[in-house]
Amino acid sequence: MVFSKGNAAYQISDAHDQIIGDTYTSLCNDISDNFSRYYGDFISLVLRDIPGVIVPIQRIWQNPYLKQIINIPDYGYSPEIKELLQNTKDSIARFFLAYKHLQQNGFTDTKIDLFTCEFGNQSILFKALTQYQMVKTGVIQYAADAKKIYDYFEKKGNIYRFLDRPHSNLLFDVLINQLAYPFHCNTNMIRRYKYKAKSTHMYTDLTVYDECRYIYEWLPALHQISTAFANRSYQYIFRFALDGLVKSRQLYNNEFFYQGSVVPDTIDDFLPHKMAVRKEI
């Protein structure tokens, strides 16, 4: 999972059903040499991603209201997975889709299976992540009502362009999160510690989560979105609130709002937030 977080694309060998490449080999060697640091990063990663992405995406894909947003077909997992894996930049999707691909070719890992069972049904998670990627790539289409709003967001001039032009990906992310109720970590408030209990090294993270209802509740229900965004002042308030969320999570979660910035992240006071270095006590 650490590898998926740091690499936008990688290949799986058809001959050996495993990840290949010098970058992956180098990472494995680096983990062996610096296991403590990577283990601490993994703990922080899990505490961010489970409430922020993994649980919410399972929740929404079991919500019957989703059918009003997209036309959900009864897709199987093959042959789409490998193509989706190569095209997606979402790190969590890359990890689980890669594992699903390897499973289809006879590879299983007990630790990964135990890990995924801790936060839900593995088959539902794979299905949700797969179909979410199919929506992003246009394989799955929007339902009729949502398609009208999709077209409104895509048409040039309807949505004011600050830094990133907000198009349909922003619309879909907000609609999904309105129903999924994610908990976003407040990156500036995370505290990370390591201490030694007798002979065992222990890791502790203190993580503050925010529901960000000031963003999701500011946006009206599906059929009123176009009317709301016709008001430029409304767009201004919403987008600046969203920019704060983008800056807080852009270095750690890239699944949602990857084009939601209003102010460049190179300007003081608008820099991307970084977690504190793990402190040994």
One-letter amino acid for residue 55 of the chain: V
Q: What pLDDT does residue 154 have?
A: 78
Q: What is the pLDDT of residues 47-65, one digit of tens each?
A: 888 888 888 888 888 888 8
pLDDT at 114 exceeding the cut of 70: yes
Q: What is the pLDDT of residues 228-254, one digit of tens each?
A: 888 888 888 888 888 888 888 878 776
> Lowest mean pLDDT: which of 98-112, 115-129, 142-156, 160-174?
160-174
Q: What is the pLDDT of residues 61-94, one digit of tens each?
A: 888 888 888 887 665 545 467 777 777 778 888 8
Count the Cβ atoms, other than its own, within 10 Å of residue 157. 6
DSSP reduced 3-state for 204: strand
Residue 57 pairs in a beta bridge with none
What contacts 215, CB < 8 A, 6 or more positions away?
A: 174, 238, 241, 242, 245
Q: How would residue 209 be classed by pLDDT, with cut points 50, 70 and 90?
A: very high
pLDDT at 7 exceeding the cut of 80: no
Segment 19-24 shows an average pLDDT of 68
Bigger pLDDT: 116 or 207?
A: 207
Q: What pLDDT does residue 6 have?
A: 58
Question: 73 is written with which tokens?
Answer: 């077909």
Which residue matches tokens 């936060």? Answer: 119
Segment 194-198 shows an average pLDDT of 90
